[in-house]
Homo-oligomer: A and B are copies of this chain.
Amino acid sequence: MSTRVTQLRILLAAIELFNAEGTAAVSASRIAERCGISKGNLQYHFPNKRDVIFAIFQLAIGEMNAGWYRDHLEPTLEHMAAMFVRQLQLIVSYRFFYRELPDLLRQDPLLRRRYSENRERRLKVIEQFMHALCARGLMRLPQESRRLRSIVEVTWILSENWVNYTALQDREMSAATILEGYAAILEVLRPYLCADPLRITEESSCTIERLVPVPVASAACTIAVPMLQRSAAEPALGHSA
């Protein structure tokens, strides 16, 4: 079996265990056992747990970039709802990461740098998307760029924390909880949207219900399967600056 495939099997096993129990509760031995390799073999690929977490974050970034780099080419309100659904599905797939995010970033300066770079890129893409909505006559943006930045940051913080926010009400992620989160985002954007807010809300509901036919959590770890298929030719995952 190729190095890359072994590494992805390790990461998939780690994602499942971390999502279920949290990173602190899962030892390297448990991860090795779960994917049927020796602890020595695991350590050959990933010397410590921090390396596993870093590589999982790189997987997540790969997924983000695959889906998101062309968003500004489809500047519609329907697509904006679809972007929100996609982000929440990604967060559910890697939910341990978002559950422990500030602590994981505190522990690993390199992970913190990579995460910050990625966030900065994503915030720029969202700004670009809003400018594209504006060019289509769907939004009117505030004049000062500082204010637009602030609005984009608000929607980012909301999106990134919505799964955690609903989880503590013991609610599984579903079309209903996603709709609530999206309603909060629309509430923030409302002063800048040109169409009738009621119509936007109704159309967003249709989009979200079409995209989320079953509870998201049931499909939790399916994400790593496509990664496994498409990534055999990619470079090995390493924790290096």
Q: Which residues of the partner chain B approach A237 to less than 8 Å between Cβ atoms?
A: none
Closest Cβ–Cβ distance, residue A60 to chain B (whole Å): 16
A-B contact pairs, 27 of them (CB 8 A): A22-B103, A22-B106, A24-B24, A98-B102, A99-B103, A99-B106, A100-B100, A100-B103, A101-B164, A102-B164, A102-B167, A105-B167, A106-B167, A112-B170, A116-B168, A147-B187, A150-B180, A150-B183, A150-B187, A154-B187, A154-B188, A157-B157, A157-B158, A157-B161, A157-B165, A157-B184, A188-B188
**Which residues from chain B contact A99 at a C-beta distance below 8 Å?**
102-103, 106
A181-199: which have CB < 8 Å to B? 183-184, 187-188, 190-191
Main secondary structure of the interface of A (DSSP, over half): helix
Cβ of A116: which chain B residues have Cβ within 8 Å of it?
168-169
Residues in A lying within 8 Å of B, measured CB to CB: 22, 24, 98-103, 105-107, 112, 115-116, 147, 150-151, 153-154, 157-158, 160-162, 164-165, 167-170, 180, 183-184, 187-188, 190-191
Contacts of A150 in B (CB 8 A): 180, 183-184, 187
Count of chain copies? 2
Q: Which residues on B sit within 8 Å (CB–CB) of A101? A: 164
- Additional 15 contacts, C-beta under 8 A, given A99-B103, A103-B103: A24-B24, A99-B102, A102-B168, A105-B167, A105-B168, A106-B167, A153-B184, A154-B154, A154-B158, A154-B188, A157-B157, A157-B162, A158-B158, A160-B161, A161-B161
CB distance from A57 to the nearest CB of B (A): 13
4 nearest A-B residue pairs (beta carbon): A24-B24, A102-B164, A99-B102, A191-B191
